[in-house]
A and B are shown apart, each in its own frame.
Chain A
Amino acid sequence: MNFILDYYNYWIVVFLMMAGFYIVISANNLVKKIVGLNVFQTSVFMLYISMGKVSGGTAPIVVEGVTEYSNPLPHVLILTAIVVGVATTAVGLALVVRIKRAYGTVEENEFDNKDDAI
């Protein structure tokens, strides 16, 4: 049981990563691909935050009588990564909108035969 508790977080993170990866490579629709990319991204955040956790620790905000804190460094890195993530997602979605306007579709398998028409 201890063995499972020690690695459970990492296994779920791997599962989520693979779920996101699968959506990115198998989905036809570009919006769904971006959702998949975000699922992948959040799983990486989860991995970092899991590594920063200290058993018996508390949130890294100074409180009287507490000596054990979780690692604040991953928190900082991931906090800014989330905001940068939404910024890149926005650029990706803007590209999808432009593709829709140029090709009339956002399904990947429908682009090929339309390339000549542009």
Chain B
Amino acid sequence: MAEFIDLVLLAMLALTALRIIFLKDLFAVVMLFGIYSFLSALIFVNLDAVDVAFTEASVGAGISTVLMLGTLALTGRKEKKSTHSKLLPLFVVLVTGAALIYGTLDMPPFGDPNNPVHQHVAPRYIEESPKEVGLPNMVTSVLASYRGFDTLGETVVVFAALIGVFSLLGVRRKQKKDHESGLESHTVLHVVAKVIIPLVILFALYVQFHGDFGPGGGFQAGVIAAAAFILYALVFGLPKAFAVVGPKFLQWMAAFGVLLYASVGLYSMYKGGNFLDYNQLAADPIAGQHYGIIIIELGVGFTVFAVMLNIFYAFGSQAERSNVQ
């Protein structure tokens, strides 16, 4: 049954991608891309990658789509007719695709437990991590403990992206109040948003602190919490959202998350271990691992939340400015 679902979902994914190629209306393209992300999240669930599915659904279908729509608001929704020939790109794609398909025939069959990929470090993670780290969710164990250094790097990259977007766009804090910001006249939306937002934030906190036991963790929780505030900004307008959490505060928060993560590493060095060696954080190694993972996941959550929301602010305030002109 799982194979059948896999076949159908992948075929739908291929059709969506094909449609994206031919559509000229960019609004529809972005919406189809959201569908594409959701479909891939479903496939990830089917392939047992629940944490990845969670991330793809919240990031790919959520934040990416919002950012692309924000860009469309500034650049226009119609793609103009192309002047150059489509034949050369088609030829390149067909040749490359044929070579890759030929290459896949050398790949080991899909799903075979004896594939080389399952022989190297994976058995160790699967057998030892519940004993060494003490968490049921192996993905969190590998992410936060065995490969904690990589994850610190990823968090820094996310932080660097914020610096990039801010140096390109910047946020205008003072909004002129001569036009309607957000959906101020829609009372129904206000009421619905007020009901939904606390629930979304509660869910984000659940994902943050339950990530050790089930799917989820700092990355997903940060994005979900940011989505709650994005909804607030969309419905009540940017000026009100700035009054709740301003861009300046978020800049500090993004840096604080990275520093919190790195300081756990430095503290474990101070205690006599290696960088990010959580065993040093408490007398009992398993308890130490647990403290370390909770703190660094919190750091990741802070940074991802602050960066995603601040990037949305940067795009949103650009759109508001161009509406005024």
Contact = CB atoms under 8 A, between A and B. Distances in A.
Given A8-B10, A22-B90, A72-B126, A42 B37 contact: yes
A19 B56 CA distance: 19
A80 B219 contact: yes
A28 B118 CA distance: 42
B165 to A, nearest CB: 5
A12 B10 contact: yes
Contacts of B112: 54-55
A49 to B, nearest CB: 5
Contact of A22 (B76, B89, B161): B89
A102 to B, nearest CB: 11
A7 to B, nearest CB: 6
B49 A78 contact: yes
Given A9-B10, A14-B101, A94 B314 contact: yes
Interface residues of B, number: 103
Nearest to B142: A76
Contacts of A78: 49, 52
A101 B141 CA distance: 45
A40 B75 CA distance: 23
Contacts of B164: 90-91, 94
B109 A6 contact: yes
B68 A93 contact: yes
A28 to B, nearest CB: 5
Contact of A53 (B51, B82, B111): B111
A107 B83 CA distance: 11
Contacts of A60: 48, 126, 137-139
For this complex, into which size category does the number of interface residues on chain A fall? 35 or more
Nearest to A8: B7
Interface string A1-33: 000011111111011111111110111111110
Contacts of A19: 14, 17-18, 20-21
Contacts of A98: 168-169
Contacts of B224: none
Contact of A34 (B68, B86, B109, B160): B68
Interface of A: 5-12, 14-23, 25-32, 34-36, 38-39, 42, 45-46, 49-63, 68-76, 78-80, 82-91, 93-98, 100, 106-107, 109-110
B101 to A, nearest CB: 5
Given A10-B110, A54-B111, A76-B147, A83 B47 contact: no
Contacts of B202: none
Contact of A87 (B6, B36, B158): B158
B97 A15 contact: yes
Interface stretch (B58-66, B229-237, B271-279, B291-299): B58-66
A61 B215 contact: yes
Interface in B210-240: 213-215, 219, 223
A79 to B, nearest CB: 5
B100 A93 contact: no
Given A79-B52, A109-B83, A61 B113 contact: no
A95 B168 contact: yes
Contact of A18 (B43, B68, B96, B138): B96
B157 interface: yes
Given A45-B56, A52-B117, A93 B18 contact: no
Contacts of B308: 86
B13 A8 contact: no
B243 interface: no
B113 A12 contact: no
A65 to B, nearest CB: 13
B315 A42 contact: no
